[in-house]
Structure 1
Amino acid sequence: MTSARFTASYLIETPLDPAKVAEVMAGEQSCGTFKRVAGETDALRERARADVIGIEDLGQSDIPGLPNAWLARSGITGPYRRARVTISFPIDNVGANLATLASIVAGNLFDLGEVTGLRLDTISLPAEYRRRFPMPSQGVAGTRRLAGVPNGPLIGSIIKPNVGLTVADTASLVDTLCAAGLDFIKDDEISADPVHAPLAERIPAVMAVVRRHADRTGRKVMVAFNITDETDAMRRHADLVEREGGTCVMVSLNWCGFSGVETLRRSTGLALHGHRNGYGGFSRHPLLGISFQAYQVLWRLAGVDHMHVHGMQGKFAQEDGEVVASARDCLSPLADGVDDAVMPAFSSGQWAGTAPVTYAATGTTDLLFMAGGGIMAHPAGPAAGVASIRQAWDAVAAGEDLATAAIRHSELRAALDFFGDKG
């Protein structure tokens, strides 16, 4: 038994007293229910109950963020008060059990009758508890070592078209991308084990190409094969990647689930590329779901090595500030004194012109910088697309603006002219 605790913070909206609602939250997610029961003794509550340790007033609204039948039946209306609530939970209520941890910090809280909005915002762990869960198998340093990129961003791309290429088509495209000088190539999230390009055939065909280029260059391109599937199939596919000399696999985190990813992590030392597709369903409403800080804590406890954060000035809905904060979360330790950073993966609408704003905002090159159209749609071809991105990052490192660098580099000039000068 231990007295150690972890904390979670929430954004809530309620027409009731936020302090009373916070106590309901703490009770529901530890030893209580809507009425105290006989077994809920004072001694048990002292040992197992969650504690409210902070309430911060965030103003109010005349309009509820979400509908609520319980409040409507009770005849309770606004104004609707908003607050940040911080709750401390006993570690002994959970143990090293990720699925249960997620159930405790989230679970039924989203359905509470007392709230018209609730969002899990942050999770904070003591070092002793964090160490009970897997560390990244590769993380930032291991990814750099496997990809042969000791400094600077890893430049990557995505197999496009997203789905539909045959095994031979895919191998041919990987051949082109390897020759173009990429560090990293990944499958699209919607292409895992399709009939027209099954992994059992695609992995050996692609890795034969990768090995051939490695023999020529001395550096093996990292390929993230999308092995999203049920657990036994993912383990089987990961084994094949290892046998073929591969270094990375990709999974769609939200649809494989914590237990599937944990099992995969225990069974392979490959770099585990975590794709967050579907995360918008958990995050886009400001008063519902899970903020990225809490989200990435949970998935890092499952053992991922890379986490998608979207991209600066990209094609998705997230503001640049959210993208930057997400990248910083990935590179921050989950607990003091723990070396467990994971590589943030930037993608969605990225090209040479987004390199300066990415570095200016993040201040780091410990990242995957992936471009699909920004490489393959370059008017001079994929090799020129890769060159334009490397030229942009070299300019960033030298403190030079892209327009000046483009005077010397035709590939960068063409990218600025074709995609639109955002440098």
Structure 2
Amino acid sequence: MSTSNSNDRLFARYFIETAFPLEQAAATMAGEQSTGTFLRVPGETEELREKFAARVESIVEGLPTVEPSLPGSGTPANWDGVRRTAQVTLSWPLHNIGPSLPNLLATVAGNLSELRAFSGLKLLDLTLPPAFLTRYQGPQFGVAGTREVTGVYGRPLIGTIIKPSVGMVPTQTAEQVRVLAEAGVDFIKDDELQSDGPRCPFVERTSAVLAVLREIFDRTGRKVMYAANVTGELDEMLSRHDHLVSHGGTCAMISIHSVGLPAMTAFRKHSQLVIHGHRNGWGMMGRSPALGMSFVAAQKLWRLAGVDHLHVNGLQNKFCESDESVIASARECLTPMFAPPNPGCEIMPVFSSGQSARQAPGTYAAIGTTDLIFAAGGGILGHPMGAAAGVRSLQQAWDAAAAGMALGEYAASHPELAAALATFGA
């Protein structure tokens, strides 16, 4: 992506599919999202266009396609029958919108996906000027802060999810947390479906859970992080935050797509807690290769808004996402957004979805770091030797991965790992 005048321009890279000539299609995108409309109007002077129009920075043509990926697209007069694809980079002057995340989204997404000129259009990446740091705080804790709060260094945080997702009362939830915490897990989260229902109200549930974790800390010195789901209306989220702080909580989980960027920004300004961003609902935006937004682009918005952790799915997951996509998302979370001396805004990627000891070597080989949360539900609770053995099997798998040893070789002297491999596959 071009970085010319990067300190005063916004850059966005797209995949496009179109029956129109690529230069014409790219110009249509630039005009639609800045000074232009379907015809030249009074007031759209050359001087105005020079100062405010979006600019086509590059067009890299790909392979043509036969059938349109999306319905409703048009074709030009005298169409040659070729439906072209390309990666197109546009840029805008920062002074069009200023450092504003909601208006950035309106600029780089807006009505583009609805234009008849395109049978496919997806936002792939964003490059933003450091001026956004004058308005947005970014992550308060990130990787280093999460490690400091939990006291876990030199390995991934081993995490899990309270299951069943819904149906238990507060005392049952607290008892499961006790079992998991006693087993040695580092991180426990509410499921996104567990919020503030009448069977398991937020205040009663979190009070019971945090009482258990305080008792374990007093006895063992272990600081297990509990990500309580505070998702709701903004006033509810702020009140729930304050309740967690008053009871010794360290982490708040938020379903990011449910609350939106402005609510997340407001919560971050108020927050004293690590913010665990859950991306449930992501498939609606990211699953189609021809529509929506890549997570590589989207995660930058949430990092600026202030999340400290973000889910990235997991290798060989139960969903449809490829390993290549998962790794790209995880790497991007750990990549600085801005050049020094600006803050990098790096955050902790959270691997989840069907994870067990068997995915540790591949995950480590792909990202080359242990700065992550590795969350397993069945991989811990479904271990044949019990939850404590499930936690140990994950720790052993990561020890083997970091040491460059094959899991089978390491399992020969580690029965918990051996049982996990036998149960979940080699």
Fold in common (TM above 0.5): yes
- Of stretches 219-228 and 114-123 in structure 1, the one that deviates more from structure 2 is 219-228
Q: Please list the CA deviations of residues 195-216 of structure 1 after superposition, one character each: whole Å capped at 9, or x if unmatched.
A: 1111111111110001011111
Instruction: Give yes or no for the alignment of 1:23 onto 2:27.
Output: yes
Distance in 2 between residues matched to 1:116 and 1:188, nearest whole Å: 37
Q: Which residue of 1 aligns with 2:259?
A: 256
Q: Which residue of 2 aligns with 1:103?
A: 106
1:390 to 386, 391, 395: 395
Distance in 1 between residues matched to 2:329 and 2:356, nearest whole Å: 20
Q: Which residue of 1 aligns with 2:155?
A: 152
1:187–1:60 CA distance, 2 compared to 1 (3 A): same
Verify the 8 A CA contact 2:136 2:265 in the aligned structure 1.
no
- Secondary structure, aligned partner of 1:340: coil
Trace 1:240-319 onto structure 2 (pairs within 5 A). 240-319=243-322
Distance in 2 between residues matched to 1:75 and 1:259, nearest whole Å: 46
TM-score, structure 2 as length reference: 0.95
Distance in 2 between residues matched to 1:120 and 1:399, nearest whole Å: 37
Q: Which residue of 2 aligns with 1:207?
A: 210
Once the two structures are TM-superposed, the CA of residue 126 in structure 1 deviates from its matched residue by 2.4
TM-score, structure 1 as length reference: 0.96
- Of stretches 35-44 and 15-24 in structure 1, the one that deviates more from structure 2 is 35-44
Verify the 8 A CA contact 1:63 1:78 in the aligned structure 2.
no
Verify the 8 A CA contact 1:378 1:384 in the aligned structure 2.
yes
Verify the 8 A CA contact 2:20 2:75 in the aligned structure 1.
no
Q: Which residue of 1 aligns with 2:225?
A: 222
Once the two structures are TM-superposed, the CA of residue 128 in structure 1 deviates from its matched residue by 3.4
Q: Which residue of 1 aligns with 2:3?
A: none
Q: Which residue of 2 aligns with 1:14?
A: 18
Residue identity (%): 50
Q: Which residue of 2 aligns with 1:89?
A: 92
1:212–1:84 CA distance, 2 compared to 1 (3 A): same
Question: Unpaired segments of 5 or more residues in structure 2?
Answer: 1-5
Verify the 8 A CA contact 2:100 2:132 in the aligned structure 1.
no
Instruction: Give yes or no for the alignment of 1:407 onto 2:407.
Output: no
RMSD of Structure 2 on Structure 1 (CA) = 1.6
Q: Which residue of 1 aligns with 2:140?
A: 137
Distance in 1 between residues matched to 2:186 and 2:7, nearest whole Å: 46
Once the two structures are TM-superposed, the CA of residue 298 in structure 1 deviates from its matched residue by 1.2
Counterpart of 1:363 in structure 2: which amino acid? Answer: G
Q: Which residue of 1 aligns with 2:199?
A: 196
Q: Which residue of 1 aligns with 2:326?
A: 323
Counterpart of 1:276 in structure 2: which amino acid? Answer: R
Trace 1:329-344 onto structure 2 (pairs within 5 A). 329-337=332-340, 338-344=343-349
- Of stretches 42-51 and 5-14 in structure 1, the one that deviates more from structure 2 is 42-51
Trace 1:342-421 onto structure 2 (pairs within 5 A). 342-421=347-426
Q: Which residue of 1 aligns with 2:36?
A: 32
Once the two structures are TM-superposed, the CA of residue 78 in structure 1 deviates from its matched residue by 3.7
Once the two structures are TM-superposed, the CA of residue 414 in structure 1 deviates from its matched residue by 0.9
Question: Unpaired segments of 5 or more residues in structure 1?
Answer: none
- Of stretches 28-37 and 170-179 in structure 1, the one that deviates more from structure 2 is 28-37
Count of aligned pairs between the two proteins: 419
Q: Please list the CA deviations of residues 174-207 of structure 1 after superposition, one character each: whole Å capped at 9, or x if unmatched.
A: 0001100011000111111121111111111110
Once the two structures are TM-superposed, the CA of residue 76 in structure 1 deviates from its matched residue by 6.0
1:309–1:10 CA distance, 2 compared to 1 (3 A): same
